[in-house]
Structure 1
Amino acid sequence: MTAPETPLHRMTNPGARAFDEVETWVFDLDNTLYPAQHDLWGQIDRRMRDYISGLLNITPEEAFAQQKAYYRKYGTSLRGLMIEHGIDPAPFLAHVHDVDLTGLEPSPRLAAALEGLQGTKLVYTNGSERHALNVLGKLGLDKHFVAIHDIVAAEFHPKPSEEAYLRFLRAHGVEPKRAAMFEDLARNLEVPHRLGMTTVMVVPPNEEISTRESWEFEGREAAYIDHVTEDLAGFLERLGR
């Protein structure tokens, strides 16, 4: 099963993996199951900055720079704070995910597209389960996923580390060669592809997302990206057919 190329979807290389044997569908949460233009990540970003500013008694500008440095080096800002400052992750997660979801609306088209996929559907996020449940509930997608693998379930080993993915695969009995991974960050697809998964990168139609760092756009033409789409619901509809 190969999704046809359209203006909103393309394969990155002639050897792109197809979906014929996929029986497990794995989705990132933020900026993947909802459009990045909702900018929930912008809220999370600001709340991380403010938390770090208070925790380390530094200016918001210094906190923002530290936050991004940890994010790039360790996979999440939280992981950096745990390693370098020994913080308790629970208060951090509760604070940064206390965001306003008013702008999120149910997505019946995406819900129907997920319903049309045969197999197991999982959410795999570097965020918290509580945040994922809140977002999925607002989108009307919660009933379509059998489990959420969050940063706590990962024992705080975040994507994109190989250890994190191996923990995920073991926890849910996923055979990587029979699985597909949907992500908004290219670097989070390198290890899944190496392990055998079919990879799909979900990108916003408008690339001008102010909360993104320039390095987050790296790797989009890499061989480990099998497919790229600007329209997740449409992409899944074609697969379901």
Structure 2
Amino acid sequence: MTPEAEQLLLDGLDAFGLQPDPTAVQRFRHLLTLLQDGNALVNLTALKSEHDIVLKHFVDSASCLLGGHLAGDQQVIDIGTGAGFPSLPLAILNPALRMTPLDSIRKKIDFVRATAEALEMNHVHPLVGRAETLGQTPEHRGRYDRVVIRAVAALPVVMELSLPLLRPGGLLVAQKGAIGAEEMAAGERAAAELGGQVASVEAFELPVLHDRRSLVIVEKTRPTPARYPRREGVPAQQPLFWKAK
């Protein structure tokens, strides 16, 4: 990591009120090297430059820590982690988190597992699978304190993938861009159907880039009905209370 990229990382984290210790900074340096080396062999991420990786992966992932929803010792599952985001930056910044990065693509989970081992983060336990399947599995259904997800899907899809995995009283922390009123209303209805309630929508800008972002915080208020989540692919193809676009 060049000095310029490191300063960009530190400034971006500082904008969120985060001051990483020297061990965390060293792990971010190592993570950048591993990601760039791994990406040369396997298509892990479309982001190539240090600037983009630092801002759009490292700093963007750290935004999940806004509001203190991931403070302390939490059992957290990261749905659709890809090459380990936001899981790996969150594990670096808060070693008390017990992270389960989840993705259906084995080569990406293999990278996350090898990277967690290289960074000596034994609190990261990657898993190959689909949220729809895990949500109907006794070992995972209703077991997590927190779910994090970098959401490109509509909110109703996010709700159905996430809420079945949360224990009552747990929180979904969903990273979204700007959210329209129609999507928000459908998301709130889906949350209620699945045993949750939208607690807050926290808007912010990504440092330097000034991209608009939102954290949607959803509390699990009661057990999810047994019929949810539906089988693999259905939540995205037939979103609750939302016409797929």
TM-score scaled by structure 1? 0.36
TM-score scaled by structure 2? 0.36
Greater RCO (Cα-Cα under 8 Å, separation 6 or more): 1
